[in-house]
Homo-oligomer: A and B are copies of this chain.
Amino acid sequence: MAGVRDRYAALYRDEWPTERLQFFSDAVFAIAMTLLVLDIDIPDVDSSRLGNALRDAQPQLFAFVLSFAVIAATWVAHHRRFEIVRVADTRLVQLNFALLLVVTFLPFPTAVLSEYGSETPAVVLYAGTVAALGLIQLVTWSHVRKAGLLNSEIDEGTYRYGRRVHAVDPAVFLASIVVALLGFPLAAMLTWLAIPPGSWLVRRTADGGGSVS
């Protein structure tokens, strides 16, 4: 009776239409984004001190906006990626779940950063989580090309350029972990601000020079 396994397997396509995958991912992004607000503590003080208490909540507000921006940027990148992906294979589904796992986890490091500010473990946990988001997307970029899941062919130079663009965020966040572990957690948080100019520089360099490795 050999062949039962094959007949069962044949019921299901190897390829996944990307629509339900995108939809499901969008829902996870939207929920993770909306849960972040729960990390801002409602002040529990005398009415007369409410104004001060709200001003004291500024670091929590910073963490909220930061994580909102991280999820928004990840959503935009996800959206654009699936615009050029024709179909998903099992490995892409797995990589997508790895990404979603990190996205759903993000409210935890956000809450820790929100409570403990620039303490080294809080900064390392946060930077590690965001770096993981970036690394998974870097691997995904490489996978979708190698597995031929893209809408159209892309040449080696463009692929490498894309890889560089994808590498900026995890590189900065991993570097910031080193800075934090050396005892400068506040400086580590400041390096996160290097991402917009760093991203710009990478795009310029890659464009001008021929040494895209």
Using a CB–CB cutoff of 8 Å, the interface residues on chain A facing chain B are 1-8, 11-13, 16, 20, 22-24, 26-40, 42-43, 47, 50-51, 54, 64-65, 68, 72, 75-76, 79-80, 83-84, 93, 97, 100-101, 104-105, 107-108, 111-112, 115-116, 119-122, 125, 154-155, 157-158, 160-162, 165, 203, 206-210, 212
Contact = CB atoms under 8 A, between A and B. Distances in A.
Looking at chain A's contact residues, the main secondary structure is helix
A30 to B, nearest CB: 4
Number of copies: 4
Given A24-B75, A32-B34, A111-B42, A11 B104 contact: no
B37 A33 contact: no
Contact of A37 (B20, B51, B105, B116): B105
Contacts of A35: 31, 34-35, 37-38
Contact of A7 (B64, B115, B158): B158
A5 to B, nearest CB: 4
